[in-house]
Amino acid sequence: MEDQNISYQQDKIIDNFNKGREDTATSFNKTLERYTHVNNLLDKPPPSPQLTQFPQELQAIAILEIPTIQLGLPVFEGFTEEILSYGVGIMNNSLDLENNGNTALAAHRGFNYL
């Protein structure tokens, strides 16, 4: 009788071990699927802007350069969606080239990927 009890206990331990392995494998596979999905998203190239022709009525008043991130963008007066699709917008009359001071700039991030 004792041998049957030991055998039963061993079978129970083996079953629990195998169930734990199955649960671990299932959990690992689900985690792997999530990582694969994230990696696939990150591997996609960034969308390129679909700009047609540069509007001739937009005239840049300056160039904003930030060499450390290899950025060079034209600066235009105003904050319209069209202006921001081509470069940096500056608040009208906030730029005084003759005096030091503050100015307000706006731009969309998305054309330069670091």
Tens digits of residue pLDDT in 61-75: 888 888 998 888 888
Which residues fall within 8 angstroms of residue 42, CB to CB, at 6 or more apart? none
Global confidence as pTM: 0.45
Task: Assess whether 36 and 71 both reside in one domain.
Answer: no
φ/ψ of residue 24, rounded to 5: -65, -45
3-class secondary structure, 34: helix
Of 12-21, 50-59, 93-102, the one with minimum mean pLDDT is 50-59
Task: Assess whether 1 and 40 both reside in one domain.
Answer: yes
pLDDT interval class at 26 (50, 70, 90): confident
Asked, for residue 112, whether it belongs to a domain, the answer is no
Q: Which of 65, 92, 56, 52 is nearest to 76 (CA)?
A: 92
32 has a pLDDT exceeding 80: no
Asked, for residue 3, whether it belongs to a domain, the answer is yes
Q: How many domains does the chain have?
A: 2
Please give the residue range of the domain that contains residue 17: 1-44
Residue with tokens 């734990």: 20
Mean pLDDT (whole number) for 18-23: 73
Asked, for residue 83, whether it belongs to a domain, the answer is yes
Helix (H) or strand (E) holding 72: strand 71-77
Task: Assess whether 37 and 69 both reside in one domain.
Answer: no
Mean pLDDT (whole number) for 74-97: 80
